[in-house]
Amino acid sequence: MITVRHATENDIQPMLDIYNEIIANTTAVFQYDPHTFEMRATWFEQKQKENYPVFIAEENNEVVGFSTFGQFRNWQAYKYSVENSVYVRTDQRGKGIGKLLLQPLIDTAKQMQLHTIIAGIVADNEASIALHKQFGFVEVAHFKEVGYKFDKWLDLKFLQLMI
């Protein structure tokens, strides 16, 4: 059975492992270089300082995915807008874990009285786009060739959920 809970410091390494696999093997993250434990620990500490949630999906005491959101843009007037991220371990994709991780983000955003959640998704990631649309996100922008990874240009779509 898969359960979802708030992340703790003990989850930093498995979150790092998932994130680095995604960097190395997918276009879901527009990064080239793997992150270090210190980088992920600093990231987690910053999430806690800003009161932004980090959720863990766990099965048999193993982290199989995580989700979070953070400030959409770093200017004061954007304080009611956040951008979400959902990451699932490669061997666990397609099992509905993304659904389990996205709902608590939406619920938390409502509790925090936020106004909107934005998802930036590489345009060919049909699974992530479909996941977000199941929760009411709608496509609001399609940026052409804004990223370059694995020797190809990548389009980015923004999907948005009004809360």
Q: Could you read off the pLDDT of 7-53 as tens digits, one per residue?
A: 999 999 999 999 999 999 999 999 999 999 999 999 999 999 999 99
Q: What is the pLDDT of residue 163?
A: 95
The enclosing H or E element of 108 equals helix 97-111
Rg of the chain over Cα atoms, rounded to whole angstroms, equals 15
| Domains observed in the chain | 2-162 (3.40.630.30)
pLDDT given for residue 43 in this prediction: 98
* Closest-CA residue to 119 (of 65, 67, 76, 74): 67
Using one digit for the tens of pLDDT, what is the confidence trace for 91-148?
A: 999 999 999 999 999 999 999 999 999 999 999 999 999 999 999 999 999 999 999 9
C-beta separation of 116 from 80 below 8 A: yes
